[in-house]
Amino acid sequence: ETAKPWGGRFDEPTDAFVEAFTASVGFDRRLYREDIAGSIAHARMLADQGVIAADEAETIVGGLEAIRERIEAGEFEWRVDLEDVHMNIEAALTQEVGDVGKKLHTGRSRNDQVATDLRLWLRGQVDAIAGELARLQRGLIEVAEREAETILPGFTHLQSAQPVTFGHHMLAWFEMLHRDHQRLLDARERLNVSPLGVAALAGTTYPVDREATARALGFDGVAANSLDAVSDRDFALEFCSVAAICMTHLSRMAEEMVLWSSAQFDFVDLGDAFCTGSSIMPQKKNPDVPELVRGKTGRVNGHLFALLTLMKSQPLAYNKDNQEDKEPLFDAVDTLAGSLRAFADLVPRMTVKAENMREAARRGYATATDLADYLVRKGVAFRDAHEVVGRAVRHGISTGRDLGEMELTELQQFSDAIGADVFEVLTLEGSVAARDHIGGTAPARVRTAAGEARQRLERL
Ligand code: ARG
């Protein structure tokens, strides 16, 4: 039989299955570093406030540091009967330093403790994720600059629409991720607030200095209400929302990479290091990394819904339900971090097949809008121009040629407003270069936009 830290009011031992069912140490031990950091800040504050003696605090701190080393050396014995990371470490502390360890939990509860641990842990993860996001964003800017002149068909309805530059497409991806980055940093502000010192729910009778522990732990401020401080999990919800949106963006990028690397598109080569083969079909090179990122988006969306459903209708303040916040949050963090890392490595090394892209743009009548705009400049109303070009395209389809490959006289059958200068707008280069305004696909604009993107990223 094991003594529980809360055993005083109980007559019977915990049912063995219930012990395992209610335990969280199997997953929340991941919070050990933050749990120890929080305990050290709390112990020192108690000493500064005269609640415990200074030498008692230093004994506690020394014991906690020794425990941290044992955990990191893989020599710590995690006990399911001690339920969670908090009680495992506290029990080990008393074994380590003797009875003085029993003073650590003065003026504290596991409720403010776990909320503090989780916020500290998530803050570290958010910073790491922001770093990977920035690395991917920088990679996109580099590809955008390198491929500012590379032309491919832009699509709507996945049908060739108008030519765009590959650099422009990369900067569209950048914008999606930039908003994710902003959302992440915005969520970090509300995340970085200290619940420590409110104890179980109502506050504590000891003269705690919550601002001191907040400062020691790098928080920007303290939670204003004790009931809210222990029961709020908005920070986890916000992170999972940001993660789900970001994964959604990654899944869209993934889908395009899967399409582009197919034999039918053949726009890019993803690099052997990022693909795998087939056990039966010798010719295969499968785009596993983008496919997996696309697939993993589902689980992050699921974690967001798990947390929303977990929090729905919970009465104040702490409920054991909240123990269920960790596994979805941990997996959302791991999945997003891994997906970003994979793309940050893969995307800049993707080989662009410019000739194939160009040929696809040429085949798709991607300059049809340019011809219509040309006719408008010659005085034709846009609707009439649209009709004229539609007939010219139909003629092109039946004779197997692009608009730019027809004779002038042939084009003039459709409108006498067409002159010899028409061929300037029917080139792919002319088409993209003409879209020369903020947000347009002209190579010169793409270069400017890439430079601006780099500055916006640095300024975040
Ligand atoms: N393991 C618990 C959790 O993850 C720690 C807080 C327990 N508090 C309590 N009153 N039972 O939420």
Task: Name the residue with the closest Cα to ligand 1, atom 2.
Answer: 323
Residue 399: Cβ within 10 Å count: 10
Nearest atom within ligand 1 for CA of residue 83: 1
Question: Per residue in 338-358, is it b (16+ CB within 10 Å) or e — as a string?
Answer: ebbbbbbbbbbebebbeeebb
Ligand 1 pocket mutation pick from 83, 88, 111 by most atoms within 8 angstroms of CB: 111
Residue 149 CA to ligand 1 centre (angstroms)? 57
Ligand 1 pocket mutation pick from 22, 84, 85, 112 by most atoms within 8 angstroms of CB: 84
In this prediction, residue 281 carries a pLDDT of: 84
Residue 40 CA to ligand 1 centre (angstroms)? 19
Q: Could you check whether the bond before residue 317 is cis, i.e. omega within 30 degrees of 0? A: yes
Which residues in the chain are classed under CATH 1.10.40.30? 359-446
The token duo for 439 is 């947000």
The token duo for 390 is 């539609």
Task: Name the residue with the closest Cα to ligand 1, atom 11.
Answer: 320
In this prediction, residue 1 carries a pLDDT of: 45
* Crossing angle between the packed helical segments 288-311 and 234-260, to the nearest 10 degrees: 160
157 is catalytic: yes
Judge whether 152 and 169 are in contact, CB under 8 Å: yes
Identify the H or E element spanning 114. Answer: helix 110-146
Largest CA distance in the chain: 101
Cα radius of gyration rounded to whole Å, the chain: 31
Task: Name the residue with the closest Cα to ligand 1, atom 12.
Answer: 323
Catalytic residue among 105, 168, 178, 278: 278
Closest CA relative to residue 85, chosen from 308, 302, 330, 275: 330
Q: Say yes or no: domain 359-446 is CATH 1.10.260.40.
A: no
3-state per-residue secondary structure call for 297-353: HHHHHHHHHHHHHHHCCCCCCCCHHHHHHHHHHHHHHHHHHHHHHHHHHHHHHCEEC
Contacts 24+ apart (CB under 8 A), 379-385: 379/417, 380/415, 380/417, 385/415
DSSP E strands, 214-275? 221-222, 268-269
Catalytic residue among 42, 109, 157, 249: 157
In this prediction, residue 265 carries a pLDDT of: 97
Residue 27 CA to ligand 1 centre (angstroms)? 13
CA 267 to chain CA mean position, Å: 26
Map tokens 């040929």 to a residue: 359
Q: Which residue ranges of the chain lie beneath pLDDT 50? A: 1
* Crossing angle between the packed helical segments 85-97 and 54-72, to the nearest 10 degrees: 120
3-state per-residue secondary structure call for 378-444: CCCCHHHHHHHHHHHHHHHHHHCCCHHHCCHHHHHCCCCCCCCCHHHHCCHHHHHHCCCCCCCCCHH
Distance separating alpha carbons of residues 104 and 180, to the nearest angstrom? 40
In this prediction, residue 2 carries a pLDDT of: 60
Which residues in the chain are classed under CATH 1.20.200.10? 111-148+157-206+221-357
ipTM at complex level: 0.95
CATH superfamily of 7-106: Fumarase/aspartase (N-terminal domain) (1.10.275.10)
Residue 105 CA to ligand 1 centre (angstroms)? 14
Task: Name the residue with the closest Cα to ligand 1, atom 3.
Answer: 323
CATH number of 111-148+157-206+221-357: 1.20.200.10
Residue 222 CA to ligand 1 centre (angstroms)? 20
Helix, coil or strand: residue 162: strand
Residue 235 CA to ligand 1 centre (angstroms)? 17
241 is catalytic: no
Judge whether 120 and 195 are in contact, CB under 8 Å: no
Which residues in the chain are classed under CATH 1.10.275.10? 7-106
Ligand 1 lining (C-beta closer than 6 Å): 24, 28, 84, 86, 110-111, 114, 318, 320, 322-323
Q: Hey, what's the torsion of the CAs at 24, 27, 29, 35, to 10 degrees?
A: -70
In this prediction, residue 277 carries a pLDDT of: 84
